[in-house]
Chain A
Amino acid sequence: IAGITQAPTSQILAAGRRMTLRCTQDMRHNAMYWYRQDLGLGLRLIHYSNTAGTTGKGEVPDGYSVSRANTDDFPLTLASAVPSQTSVYFCASSDGTSRPSEQFFGPGTRLTVL
C-alpha cells in the first residue's frame, strides 16, 4: 500500500441500511479526515481525528460516526442511510495537527442511497 486507500470504490445502498466506508493510510500520519463532496458545494468536513483514540465533529457530522482505534485506520459509518447522504466521500490524512500541513487524499467512494 502506498498512500491512502478507500473501500468500496462505489456502492448503491437502500435507505435505512447501515454502511461502513473504510479508509487506511500507510504514511503514519497523525491526522485523518472524512469529507463529502457535492456538486457546487466543495469539500465539507464530516469528522476528523488528530491522533489515534480521539475524534472530532466537522461541519456536517449528523448521521455519521467514526472511530480511530489505531493510526492507520479511520472508518466512517452511516448508521441508517438516507438519500441526502448520496455523495462522493473522500478520506484524507496529514502529518500536522498544530500547524498547517498538506492533506493527502484517498481515491474516494461514490455512494448512492436510494
Chain B
Amino acid sequence: GQNIDQPTEMTATEGAIVQINCTYQTSGFNGLFWYQQHAGEAPTFLSYNVLDGLEEKGRFSSFLSRSKGYSYLLLKELQMKDSASYLCAVSDSNYQLIWGAGTKLIIKP
C-alpha cells in the first residue's frame, strides 16, 4: 500500500530551528513536495525534491533520501507567522500526489 508518515504536531520557539520529518512508501516515485497550510486556508507550495540532497530556499530547506524513503523540511530563524501545518506529498507512478496527514507546527515566543 501507499503510506506517508509525518509527526502530528511539533512545538518550537521563535528564532530557533525545527526539522519536520516525512517517511514514505509509495508505488513509484516522481518527486516529493512540501506545502504550507495556515489554519482555514489553502495549501501553498514550498519545495520540490526529486534528487537526493538538500534544496535551500531562504529560511526553508528540504532534504531527500530516495534510498531511505525519507525527507525533511528545515525551518530556520522561526517566526510566529511560520505557525501552520506542513504537508508532505509524493508524486507517484501516475504523477498523482499522495498526501501525508500534515504536521501542525506551533511557534512559541
Contacts and interface: CB of A to CB of B under 8 A. Distances in A.
A58 to B, nearest CB: 8
Contact of A105 (B4, B31, B42): B42
A58 B2 CA distance: 14
Q: For this complex, into which size category does the number of interface residues on chain A fall?
A: 20 to 34
Interface of B: 4, 8, 30-31, 33, 41-45, 48, 50, 87, 89, 91, 95-97, 99-102
A55 to B, nearest CB: 14
Contacts of A98: 95
Contacts of B43: 43, 90, 105
A35 B89 CA distance: 13
Nearest to B43: A105
Contact of A107 (B30, B31, B41, B45): B41
Interface in A56-107: 58, 90, 96-107
B101 A100 contact: no
A35 to B, nearest CB: 8
A22 to B, nearest CB: 16
A97 B44 CA distance: 19
Which secondary structure characterizes the binding site on chain B?
loop
A19 B30 CA distance: 35
Contact of A103 (B4, B30, B50, B97): B97
A9 B20 CA distance: 31
25 contacts: A35-B99, A40-B101, A41-B101, A42-B4, A42-B87, A42-B101, A43-B43, A43-B97, A43-B99, A90-B42, A90-B43, A99-B30, A100-B31, A100-B48, A100-B50, A100-B91, A100-B95, A102-B33, A102-B45, A102-B48, A103-B45, A105-B44, A106-B42, A107-B41, A108-B42
